[in-house]
Amino acid sequence: MKTHAVTLDTAGAPAAVPASESASIVKATAAALPDQPDALARARAFAEPLLAFETLESGENTLAHADAVAAILKSIGGSEAMQAATYLVYCCQHLARPQEVIAKAFGASYAALAMETTKLVNLQRQARGADARTALHDDPDAQTENVRKMLLAFSRDLRVVMLRMASRLQTLRHCAATKTPADPGLAHESLHVFAPLANRLGIWQIKWEMEDLAFRFLEPLTYQQTARLLDEKRAEREAFMEALRLQLERELNRNGIAALVQGRPKHIYSIVKKMRGKSLDFEQVFDVRALRVIAADVNGCYAALGFVHSRFSPIIGEFDDYIAKPKVNGYQSLHTVVRDDAGRAVEIQIRTQAMHDHAEHGVAAHWAYKEAGTKGYVGVSASSEYDAKIAVLRQLLAWERDLSGPASQRARESKQGLFEDRIYVLTPDAAIVELPQGATAVDFAYSVHTSLGHRCRGARLDGAMVPLNTPLQNGQTVEVITVKEGGPSRDWLNPELGFLASHRARSKVRAWFNALEMAQTVAKGREAVEKLLQREGKTAMKLDDLAAQLGFKAADDLFEVVGKDELSLRTIENMLRPPEPAPAQDPDAFTKKARQSERAGQAGKGSVLVVGIDSLLTQLAKCCKPAPP
């Protein structure tokens, strides 16, 4: 098996992150890993001789990085089996036959997870290099969304995603701790691929930290300016918010409104994103100071709203009732902004616990309205088909937490098919190409460029020559071998041979053969018309003029109908030979003709005189009955 140099992400010791409901998501994804006695300790002992003296591209010791990634997974609820798999991933590049060795020591499930994660690492490294070379292509949003879709499609097992996100967070932490600049491609991918993915999966601890760290490396000046604005009054603001939280919760309960009041942290990237998306100054970002009220029921929500508006001064135009009129994605909450006695603006969200859980972990999670830009935020908008698949995936994860036994197994099996209809492969320059399931190198060539498809004669997958009808797999690098000139084969249109899977490629092949047949028809018509002009002595006549006289826009249109036998050459001949005018009648002609007829009558009955030839008599055959004269 070909070994790969793995570029894994790195960082220093992870900060403690409190576990939340996202732990259940991680546990659900790790269900397929079999529990083994002391699996974590055994995996670390297996990896230590291989990794202890190795370093990653970031400069961090590989074993220390693996330790930190395992700690991150533990903090968000990852099982010991999943933490153990972390060490095995980093061993792959140091083993000659990693899948066989790991499978023998830990089982096929661990080996498959390690190999899948290693493949994804290599794909992402190549994609980052391609983005850097092409300045994220002409459409960076489209390329980013392709990377995001490829990540989900290629790693249908969400354990791979969890491992990659934890590894990436550790890389950013390490760079921040050592004050080492992060690679711009890595930071961009973290901000625009991994953080939104963590957001969509409800892993908020990873999401917000990764956003802030990636933004810190991408725009250090803006980050520092915003952090300075927050730090100037951080202690004062935190003291004010804690006092306000306690006061509001106490007063609500005192007035018979059962509610829990929480603070809402606002992170640097979130603040900058809102300022840019809504063209606001820092002072206009009201939810720098924000609280969330969790009420017992809907009536409690409106009761709490009434109390808040009576206790503080509401800001006109800053109230939204998403309970009475939920958002399209199902999100429900009351949003209002009020000013305290000192005139400081505070954003307050009011919702029930069920609404909160739905907003935080259901289909209506933050990604559904913040990433899609419905409120004016600047970002990547996902396609509706992609969003639907993500929604189904999230529902399946929720069902897995509630179901057990055969039902849970069916849910996991159905999850395996969510992205089976598409695959994502790479060009030799590591640009990502989306294709239908079952696509071949010929489909790939036509998706890149029509001319490349026409001239395709062979293909290499990951450097190995393969037949052109070999189905492609997720993550493969496809290289097309071409000739300078040529066209497709008619065999490509035979569905039984399996050369083409995409409708687009088949249409292009059919169009090529239709154009070829048209060219042959035009050539046949041109040859017939030119021969006719030569016979008629009209070779000097322009073909376009001839076509115009016959009512065609161009000469090729004339040649086409002639080549199809839809226009007779006799029609062209008649147009080239206009009828000659009748000669003028001589007054003496009738007298002369009468005299000739009289002579003919004298020559004998049944004879006729041929006019124009002096005195030539003709004997008519019995079958001929000419009318006189």
Write down the mean pLDDT value for the chain: 75
Instruction: Pick the more confident residue, 417 or 451.
Output: 451
Determine the average pLDDT of the residues in 256-266. 83
In terms of phi and psi (left: phi > 0; alpha: psi -120 to 50; beta: otherwise), the region of 608 is beta
Same domain, 40 and 188: yes
Structure tokens at 349: 């969200």
User: Are 194 and 309 members of one domain?
Assistant: no
Output the pLDDT for position 623: 80
CA dist., res. 372 & res. 46, Å (int): 44
Domain shared by 79 and 201, yes or no: yes
Would you tell me how many other CB atoms lie within 10 Å of the CB of residue 611? 13
- Choose from 13-17, 135-139, 161-165, 458-462 the range with maximum mean pLDDT: 458-462
Answer yes or no: is pLDDT of 142 > 60: no
In this prediction, residues 299-310 reach a mean pLDDT of 94
Q: Is residue 5 in a domain?
A: no
pLDDT bracket for residue 572 (50, 70, 90) = confident
**CATH assignment at residue 497:** 3.10.20.30
Q: How many domains does the chain have?
A: 6
Task: Say yes or no: 55 and 112 in one domain.
Answer: yes
Instruction: Quickly tell me which residue has 């009054």 as its tokens.
Output: 233
* 181/400: higher pLDDT: 181
Distance CA 315, CA 343 (A): 11
Long-range contacts, stretch 273-280, CB < 8 angstroms, 24+ apart = 273/377, 273/378, 273/379, 274/377, 276/378, 277/373, 277/375, 277/376, 277/377, 277/378, 277/379, 278/376, 278/377
Q: Please tell me the predicted confidence (pLDDT) of residue 48.
A: 92
Total-model pTM? 0.57
Query: Helix/strand/coil (H, E, C) string of 408-469?
Result: HHHHHHHHCCCCCCEEEEECCCCCEEEEECCCCHHHHHHHHCHHHHHCEEEEEECCEEECCC
Residue 147 lies in a domain: yes
356-386 residue pLDDT tens: 876 664 433 333 334 444 333 233 334 444 4
β-strand pairing of 432-436 with 334-339: unpaired
Same domain assignment for residues 325 and 397: no
55 in a structural domain = yes
Q: Is the pLDDT of residue 299 over 60?
A: yes
Average confidence (pLDDT) over 603-609: 53
Q: Give the model's pLDDT for residue 612.
A: 62
Domain ranges, residue 353: 229-382
- The DSSP output letter for 37 is T
406 and 436 co-located in one domain: no
The answer to whether 364 and 331 are in contact (CB under 8 A) is yes
CB 400 within 8 A of CB 31: yes
Give pLDDT, residue 277.
73
> Residue 562: what are its φ and ψ, rounded to 5°?
-70, -45
Q: Give the CATH number for residue 269.
A: 3.30.460.10
**Burial, 400: exposed, middle or buried (Cβ in 10 Å; 0-12, 13-18, 19+)?**
buried
First to last CA, the chain: 106
Q: Which of 445, 473, 501 is the last residue of a domain?
A: 501
DSSP 243-275: HHHHHHHHHHHHTT--EEEEE----HHHHHHHH
Residues forming a β-bridge with 479: 460
- Listed in sequence order, the residues at least 6 apart from 172 whose beta carbon sits closer than 8 Å to its beta carbon are 9, 11, 182, 187, 190, 209, 210, 213, 214, 217
Tell me whether residue 563 is in a domain.
yes
Residue 575 vs residue 255, higher pLDDT: 255
Q: What is the pLDDT of residues 185-213, one digit of tens each?
A: 888 888 887 887 777 665 767 888 899 99
Choose among 534, 465, 472: nearest CA to 502.
472
> In terms of domains, do 376 and 392 share one?
no
**Which helix (DSSP H) or strand (DSSP E) does residue 581 occupy?**
none
Residue 583 lies in a domain: no
More confident residue, 575 or 448: 448
Residue 381: strand pairing partners: none
Boundary of a domain, candidates 193, 218, 243: 218
| Per-residue pLDDT tens digits for 12-27 | 333 333 344 444 434 4
Query: Which range, 282-291, 409-418, 525-534, 593-602, has the best average confidence (pLDDT)?
Result: 525-534
Say if residue 150's pLDDT is above 50: yes
- Check whether residue 609 and residue 540 sit in a common domain: no
Q: Tell whether 543 is covered by a domain.
A: yes
Residue 411 has pLDDT above 70, yes or no: no
Mean pLDDT of the 300-318 span: 92
Q: pLDDT by residue (tens digit) across 75-123?
A: 877 778 888 888 998 898 888 888 899 888 888 888 888 888 888 777 7
Is residue 17 in some structural domain?
A: no
Please write the tens of the pLDDT for every residue from 60-78.
Answer: 999 999 999 999 888 877 7
User: Quick check: is 1 in a domain?
Assistant: no
Kindly state whether residues 314 and 264 are assigned to the same domain. yes
Among residues 88, 82, 70, the alpha carbon closest in space to that of 25 is found at 82
DSSP characters over 155-204: T-SHHHHHHHHHHHHHHHHHHHHHTPPPPHHHHHHIIIIIHHHHHHTT-H
Higher-pLDDT residue of 421, 453:
453
Query: DSSP readout, 47-64?
Result: HHHHHTT-B-TTS-BHHH
Share of the chain above pLDDT 70, in %: 67
**One domain, residues 31 and 149:** yes
Tell me: do 181 and 278 sit in the same domain: no
Tell me the pLDDT tens digit for each residue of 331-357.
789 999 898 877 888 889 999 988 887
Residue 575 burial (C-beta neighbours within 10 Å; 0-12, 13-18, 19+): exposed
User: Residue 364: what pLDDT?
Assistant: 32
Q: Among 218, 240, 266, where does a domain finish?
A: 218
Residue 193 belongs to domain with CATH number: 1.10.3210.10
| Whole-Å CA distances, 271 to 266, 268, 277, 334 | 7, 5, 10, 21
Do 243 and 355 reside in the same domain of the chain? yes
Is-contact 37 106, C-beta < 8 A?
no
